Amino acid sequence: MSLRYFPLDGTDFRLSMGLQALRDRSWLDVDENYEKDLEEKQLLLRSQRTTVFAETEGTRAAQQEILDLVLAEFERYYPEICSPDDFRQDESPLVGAASLVQEDLVLMREEEEGYALAAACLCFPTGWNLIDKVGKIIRRIHQPVPGLNDRMGAPIDRFFRNLKPGKKVERFNWGLYDSAALFQPGWWRSGRPIDQTVTAETVSEKIFFRVERQTLQRLANETDILFTIRIFNNTLEEVASDRIRAARLLHGLETMDEAMQNYKSMPRYDKLIKNFLEQTAI
């Protein structure tokens, strides 16, 4: 898989919203893994639906709005890939929408204390469990991320309140993992032992640079927000095939505090990763 996104610019690692306006680009991202990713979603929805889908009462109308948005986006940007005829009927419109796209779909609804996760079809989580987050406001959802609420809690709340109808934004998140699996909930990842096959000779192939492309947009009901998450995996070798990228990734790791490194699950392979990057960076 080609390296589609590399959200590091060579500066010191820091927590930031990093929002960019989406103007002439789609908030959906279709690539060569489209059919494979959708097959995996269907398998997860059949085998453990309650793990990957959750909804709170009174969200069906907003879910239908999301389905309509997905169908309209395909008609505009990818008419050759998907049409309304491809829609798989489901009692939940959100599941129907998520079954058409590689993105996970999350409905955020304004509550008295802030925006809360009101419904989601989340088949490809990165180290968290949907069942633990549904119904919770953003600050509680972000609680496990070291320093995020202290540094970014207020700006995030303000952004959600002020997001205008019609405006779409994207941002990126990244981490390094010892698996290319798309489905990596917290309970699956936390119990994984150290992979003894990751050595100086294999680290470039066994460690994966995992990028989340996230988009946000307010729904036409002017209350709810659609949050999407799309996963991209590349081997460390693919990233480091460009020496500038290798140098930027190395600098990002070296300027990341220990708590964040622990959260991103990198310490177990830290020396191997940095040694490899040092050898390939300019």
Range of the domain at 86: 20-280
12 domain-assigned: no
Tokens found for residue 81: 């890939």
pLDDT of residue 86: 64
Residues 6+ apart with CB under 8 A from 78: 26, 28, 30
Residues 6+ apart with CB under 8 A from 43: none
Supply φ then ψ for residue 55, to 5 degrees: -145, 150
pLDDT tens digits for range 231-246: 999 999 999 999 999 9
Supply φ then ψ for residue 97, to 5 degrees: -65, -45
Percent of the chain with pLDDT over 90: 71
Whole-prediction pTM: 0.94
Q: How far is CA 177 from CA 14, 150, 205, 274, 282, in A?
A: 19, 26, 11, 14, 24
**208/152: higher pLDDT:** 208
Would you say residue 179 has pLDDT above 70?
yes
Question: Rounded to whole angstroms, how far apart are CA atoms 35 and 64?
Answer: 23
Question: Rounded to whole angstroms, how far apart are CA atoms 102 and 69?
Answer: 15
4 domain-assigned: no
* 29-57: average pLDDT: 96
Provide the β-strand partners of residue 224: 109
124 domain-assigned: yes
> What is the total residue count of the chain?
282
pLDDT of residue 152: 67
151 domain-assigned: yes
**Per the structure, how many domains does the chain have?**
1
- Sign of the alpha-carbon torsion through 55, 37, 189, 253: negative
31 domain-assigned: yes
Cβ atoms of 93 and 33 within 8 Å: the answer is no
5 domain-assigned: no
6 domain-assigned: no
**172/86: higher pLDDT:** 172
Would you say residue 88 has pLDDT above 90?
no
pLDDT of residue 47: 96
196 domain-assigned: yes
* 201-214: average pLDDT: 97
pLDDT-derived band at 224 (thresholds 50, 70, 90) equals very high
Residues 6+ apart with CB under 8 A from 169: 19, 20, 21, 22, 163, 215, 216, 217
Would you say residue 1 has pLDDT above 70?
no
* 63-89: average pLDDT: 85
